[in-house]
Structure 1
Amino acid sequence: MLSAKSLFQEILDDDESFRLFCSIAASGESQGGWENARIAALVPPDQRDLAPKIARHGADEDKHGRIFDALLKKRGLQPVPVPPDADYTMLLERAGIGLAHDRLRADQPLTVQDVVTYLAHSRVTEQRASEQMELLRKHFADHPDIGRAVRMISHDEDNHLAYCHEELLRLARAGHGRAIQRTLRECALTEIRVHRDVSLAVMSHMGRILGWSRPKAALLAAGVHAVYAGERLAGWHRMVSLTMPERRDALGGPATPAPEFA
C-alpha cells in the first residue's frame, strides 16, 4: 500500500534517491539563506528592527543546508546537481514570486512594499515547509539516522511561519493590509502550481532511480494532481490567512547552533 511514510522510506533506503533528496533540500535551504542575508542588509531605515530577525531566518536556512549536507556525508555520499525542473526556489523566482535576485544583488535599499513582498512570499513558502516537516516528524522523529535533523528543522520552520504571521499583522496594522492580501493571494496561487510541477519532476526522477513501474508512477502523479486540484479549489486559503501565533517573537534571538551536524 502506498503511503507518505512508505514512499519516503523507499527514498531513504536507497543511496541514490536519498542523495537526490538531500541535494535538492540542501540547495533550496542554502539559496534561502543567501536571500535572507541580502534582504537583512537592504531593509529600509524605518524597518531596521526587522533586520536581525531576517538575518536569523537566513542563518537557520544556512544551518538546514549544512544539516542535509551532513546527512549525505554520514552515508559517504556526495551532493548531486539539482535538476532544473526540480529547483523549487529558482522556479518560484522565474514565476515572479518574491524579490528578484537582481534586485537583491544591487546595493539599493528595499522599500516597504519590497518587505511586504518578502514576508508574503515567506509566509506562503514557510507554510509549505512547515507542513512537509510536520509530516516527516510524524513518521520519522525517532529515526536513528534522520530523526534529530527532522525535529530540529521542523521546529525552525514552525518558528519561521510564526514570525511571518506576526510581522505581516504588524504591517497590516500600519496600513498595508490590502497590499498584503493581494500579494499573499498571488504568491499562494503561483506557489501551488510550482509545487505541483516540482513534485511531478521529483517523482519522475525518483521513479527512474528506484525503478518504479508505470502503474505506480501514474498513481503517484495522479495523487500530485489531486492535491493541486484541492489546493486550487480552496486549499490555498490556508496560505493567506493571518493569525497571531502562539510563538511570539519567534526569531528574536540568535540562531540555534547545530554542532552535531556541522
Structure 2
Amino acid sequence: MLSARSLFQEIVDHDDSFQLFCSIAASGESQGGWENGRIAALVPEGMRHLAPKITRHGADEDKHGRIFRALLRNRGLPSVPVPPETDYTMLLERRGIGLAHEKLRREEPLTEEDIVVYLAHSRVTEQRAAEQMDMLVKYFGDHPEVGKAIRMISHDEDNHLAYCHEELLAMARAGHGRTIQRVLRDSALAEIRVYRDVSLAVTDHMGRLLGWPAPKAAALAAGIRGMYAYERFSGWHRMVGLRMPLRRDALGGLPAGTPGYA
C-alpha cells in the first residue's frame, strides 16, 4: 500500500535517496536564506522596522540548510548536485514569482510594493512548507535519526507563516490590499504548478534510485496529478486567505539555535 509514511521511510532508509532528498532540501533552504538576507539589506527606509524580522527569517532558512547538511554528515554522505527540474525556488523565479535574483543582487533599495510582493509570495510558499512539515512531524517526529530536525524545522515554518499573515494584514490596512490579493492569487496558481512539476521530477529520480516498478511509479505520478487537479479547482484558495495568527510577533525575538546541528 502506498502512503506518505511508507514512501518517506523508503527514502530515509536508502543512502542514495536520502542523499538526494537532503541535498535538494538544503539547497532550497540556503537559497531562501540568501534571498531574505538581501531583502533585509534593501528594505526601503519607510519599512526598516521589518528588517530584523526578515533577517530572522533568513537566519532560520540558513539554519535549516545546515540541519539538512548535518543529517548528511551524520551518515558520512556528501551533498550532491540538485537536478534543475527539482529546484523549486529557481522554477518559481522563472515564472516571475517573488523578487528576481537580479534585482536582489543590486544595491538599490527595494520599494514598498517589492516588500508586499515578497511577503505575499512567502505567505504562499510558507503554507506549503508548513503543511509538508506538519505531515512529516505526524509520521516521523519521533524518528531517532530525523525526528529532532523535523520538529525544529516545523516549528520555524509555522512561525514564518504566522509572520506573513500578520504583516500582510498590517499592509492591507495601510492600503496595499488590492496588490496583496493580486500577488497572492498569481503566486498560488504558479506555485501549485511548480509544486506538481517538482514533485513529478523528484518522484522520477527517487523511483530510479530505489528501483520502483513501473506500476508504482505510475500510481505515484497519477496521485501527484490528481492533487494538482484538486488544487487547481479549489485547493489553492487555502493559500490566499489572511487571518490574524495565534502566534503574534512570531519573528520578533532572537532566532533559536541549532543544538546538535552546528
**Is TM-score (shorter-chain normalized) higher than 0.5?**
yes
Match of 1:97? 97
1:129-188 CA distance string (max 9 Å, x none)? 000000000000100000100000000000000000000000000000010000000000
TM-score by length of 2: 1.00
1:23-81 CA distance string (max 9 Å, x none)? 00000000000000000000001100000000000000000000000000000100000
Match of 2:173? 173
Shift of 1:91: 0.4
Query: For structure 2, which runs of at least 5 residues remain unmatched after alignment?
Result: none
Instruction: Give the whole-Å Cα distance in 1 for the aligned partners of 2:48 and 2:238.
Output: 29
Match of 2:255? 255
Instruction: Give the whole-Å Cα distance in 2 for the aligned partners of 1:226 and 1:259.
Output: 40
Match of 2:228? 228
Match of 2:72? 72
Task: Output the amino acid matched with 1:122.
Answer: S
Task: Output the amino acid matched with 2:260.
Answer: E
Match of 2:138? 138
Match of 1:150? 150
| Partner secondary structure for residue 51 of structure 2 | helix
Q: CA RMSD in A?
A: 0.4
Instruction: Give the whole-Å Cα distance in 1 for the aligned partners of 2:206 and 2:197.
Output: 14
Quick check: 1:110 aligned with 2:110?
Answer: yes
Instruction: Give the whole-Å Cα distance in 2 for the aligned partners of 1:170 and 1:141.
Output: 34
| Partner secondary structure for residue 208 of structure 1 | helix
Match of 2:240? 240
Quick check: 1:88 aligned with 2:74?
Answer: no
Instruction: Give the whole-Å Cα distance in 1 for the aligned partners of 2:231 and 2:255.
Output: 33
Instruction: Give the whole-Å Cα distance in 1 for the aligned partners of 2:165 and 2:140.
Output: 27
Instruction: Give the whole-Å Cα distance in 1 for the aligned partners of 2:226 and 2:102.
Output: 35
Alignment size in residue pairs:
262
Instruction: Give the whole-Å Cα distance in 2 for the aligned partners of 1:183 and 1:151.
Output: 30
Task: Output the amino acid matched with 1:252.
Answer: G
Match of 1:16? 16
| Partner secondary structure for residue 17 of structure 1 | helix
Shift of 1:253: 1.1
Task: Output the amino acid matched with 2:74.
Answer: K
Shift of 1:259: 2.6
Instruction: Give the whole-Å Cα distance in 1 for the aligned partners of 2:179 and 2:142.
Output: 42
Task: Output the amino acid matched with 2:103.
Answer: R
Instruction: Give the whole-Å Cα distance in 2 for the aligned partners of 1:176 and 1:95.
Output: 23
Shift of 1:254: 1.4
Instruction: Give the whole-Å Cα distance in 1 for the aligned partners of 2:23 and 2:121.
Output: 23
Match of 1:32? 32
Quick check: 1:207 aligned with 2:207?
Answer: yes
Instruction: Give the whole-Å Cα distance in 2 for the aligned partners of 1:27 and 1:184.
Output: 25
Instruction: Give the whole-Å Cα distance in 2 for the aligned partners of 1:185 and 1:65.
Output: 28
| Partner secondary structure for residue 245 of structure 1 | coil
Instruction: Give the whole-Å Cα distance in 1 for the aligned partners of 2:116 and 2:187.
Output: 12
Identity level (%): 74
Moved over 2 A (4+): none
Instruction: Give the whole-Å Cα distance in 1 for the aligned partners of 2:208 and 2:140.
Output: 24
| Partner secondary structure for residue 145 of structure 1 | coil
Instruction: Give the whole-Å Cα distance in 2 for the aligned partners of 1:211 and 1:30.
Output: 30
Query: For structure 1, which runs of at least 5 residues remain unmatched after alignment?
Result: none
